[in-house]
Structure 1
Amino acid sequence: MIYYITGGERSGKSSYAQNLALSFSQSPKYVATSRIWDEDHRKRIDRHIADRDERWTSNEEEKNLASVIKTNDVVVIDCVTLWLTNFYMDTNYDVEKSLELAKIEFNKLLNIEAQIIIISNEIGMGVHAQTKMGRKFTELQGWMNQHIAKHASKATMMVSGIPLTLK
């Protein structure tokens, strides 16, 4: 089952996803998709790690999400935005190719019997990107969010720490 959780920055997505995972299992997995870009980013990652206790098993996987998820796992994937960034950079900012590769990888998750909780960001609802590359990434994110939400069993949007049921 796919659970899709989206919202703005600092909207409560991660806390909500982690609590949901712990309601299903006392030994969930956490799949971190981020590359470490700089020291500030490392601090943000460290803060997320500190939020999880010994019940969690952490995996770092930049692109091949299905490779670390097994049958009956309860998994939080955090997050689509950083995962897409990896495709976007590795394809030299090719939106179509990035979307194609991300959809192929996401679709593999649909064949795994597991509780998969996917965190994403609604970046198109914020400030308009100032660069062409940023605007193209916003489009990529929006299209991938639609694809995930379409296939999710449940979809939730977080606003100011409050979950709003979309589906």
Structure 2
Amino acid sequence: MIYLVTGGSGSGKSEYAENLVMASGCPVRYYVATMTVYGEEGKAKVLRHQELRRGKGFITVECQADVGTALRGIRNSNQEAILLLECVSNLAANEMFADGGEGQGNVSIDKLADKLVKDILCLASQVKDMVIVTNEVASDGIIYDSGTAGYIRLMGLVNSRLGACSHRVVEVVYGIPVVWKG
């Protein structure tokens, strides 16, 4: 089963997603962390998320790109494992702006969206259940430069494609889960 959990920054989506994992009954819990840490704010965010996971039995795997390969070399029956992917917005930024670039280079936004979704679904096929955390990034109504506008378009494509593939889609708004699908 695939769960997609979305919401704005600080909405409580990560805590909600972790609670889904804990309630799953799966004894093996993977946490695939996609954030590339920059600066003190990034370090503080990682520490906060690590504290939330403490004592919950997660096996943390750092993977900032090509997440379909995150579990390579780890043997486990998909019938006993659940995976929490945190988070698609970091993953998309990592892949789109790799090497400090101003965008996706010669790869179109559509092709990059296809790659990201393919990688995420490949990861989902390796476990019994998967909880995917993503961000709502397009609702502020601000007009951005072309690089940021491309990223927002990429996130819209990826999130809508993941929503279509997911069994359950939940938006966390001010700590309140709103079920949109499933």
- Give the TM-score, by structure 1 length: 0.90
RMSD across aligned positions (CA):
1.9
How is 1:109-120 mapped onto 2 (pairs within 5 angstroms)? 109-120=123-134
Letter in 1 for 2:129: Q
Q: How much has 1:85 moved relative to structure 2?
A: 0.6
For the residues of structure 2 that align with 1:9 and 1:157, how far apart are their CA atoms? 12
Give yes or no for contact 1:30–1:75 (8 Å, CA) kept in 2.
yes
Question: Separation in 2 of the partners of 1:28 and 1:138?
Answer: 30
1:100 aligns with 2:102: no
In 2: Cα distance, 1:38 partner to 1:129 partner: 26
- The SS at the match of 1:28 is strand
Deviation at 1:30, TM superposition (A): 1.1
Q: Deviations over 1:95-154 (max 9, x none)?
A: 244223213312313533421000001100125253221111111001100010000011
Q: Is the 1:128–1:135 contact (alpha carbons within 8 Å) kept by the matching residues of 2?
A: no
Q: Specify the alignment match of 2:179 in structure 1.
A: 165
- Conservation of the 8 A alpha-carbon contact between 1:3 and 1:116: yes
User: SS of the counterpart of 1:5?
Assistant: strand
Query: Which residue of structure 1 lines up, in the alignment, with residue 94 of structure 2?
Result: 86
Partner of 1:47: 48
C-alpha distance 61-129 of structure 1, shift in aligned 2 (>3 A): farther
Equivalent-residue separation in structure 2 for 1:28 and 1:126 (angstroms) = 34
Instruction: Label 1:42 to 1:7 Cα distance change in 2 as closer, same or farther (>3 A).
Output: same
Which moves more between the two structures, 112-121 or 20-29? 20-29
CA distance in 1, matches of 2:92, 2:37: 14
Aligned to 2:18: 18
Q: How far, CA to CA, are the matches of 1:113 and 1:57 in structure 2?
A: 13
Aligned partners of 2:140, 2:9: CA distance in 1, in Å? Answer: 9
Cα 1:75–1:129 shift into 2, 3 Å: farther
Q: Residue 61 of structure 2: SS of its match in structure 1?
A: strand
Whole-angstrom distance in 2 between the partners of 1:116 and 1:16: 14
Contact 2:33 2:64 in 1 (8 A): yes
Aligned residues: 167
Aligned 8 A contact 2:8 2:137 in 1: yes
TM-score by length of structure 2 reads 0.83
Q: Is the 8 A contact 1:77 1:117 kept in 2?
A: yes
Matched, 1:149 2:163: yes
Amino acid at match of 2:4: Y
CA distance in 2, matches of 1:114, 1:47: 27
